[in-house]
Amino acid sequence: MLFYSDFVAEHDEWSKDDFEKLVQQGDDLGARIKQAFELAFQKHSKVVIIGSDCASLTVEIVEEAFKALEAFPFVVGPAMDGGYYLLGMDRFESSLFENIEWSTDQVFDQTLKAIKKLNKSCYLLPELSDIDYEEDWNEYGWQL
């Protein structure tokens, strides 16, 4: 499943033959991620959601996340700005999207607290940088 922020781009690099393309729904980032998990769990037993703004995310890290879900109920890839670039679950847990200050440097810590409150364990992936500003992009040596 591939979720777009405002509209589905029909003729981009992601083939509709390979991806179910949907528009995100919800008033904030948490609501949009929650809705994506709900839809994905209708078809899959383990779900990993990644952001599109982490240039250093690799296939190997995504594979590591799915493998971790064999032993852990949650997997999180922390971002250097205090958020996360990846969240995975072995079953849907809506409480992870409650009482989170979205788009702040508290998202990762608040998510870990929500997992701890459930008395569940979490596998942590390597911390990576995501792209929020042009300066972040330029750190990779690319120009807009």
CATH class of the domain at 2-139: alpha beta
Any idea where the domains of the chain sit in the sequence?
A: 2-139
pLDDT tens, position by position, 86-98: 999 999 999 999 9
Identify which of 78, 67, 61, 60 has the alpha carbon closest to the alpha carbon of residue 115.
Answer: 78
Q: What is the pLDDT along the chain (144 residues), one digit of tens a residue?
A: 778 788 887 878 877 888 888 888 888 889 999 999 999 999 999 999 998 777 788 999 999 999 999 999 999 999 988 999 999 999 999 999 999 999 899 999 999 999 999 999 999 999 998 766 566 556 655 554
Side-by-side strand order, sheet with 84-89: 47-50, 84-89, 74-78, 122-124
Chain center to CA of 101: 16
Q: What is the pTM of this model?
A: 0.86
What DSSP state is assigned to residue 94? G
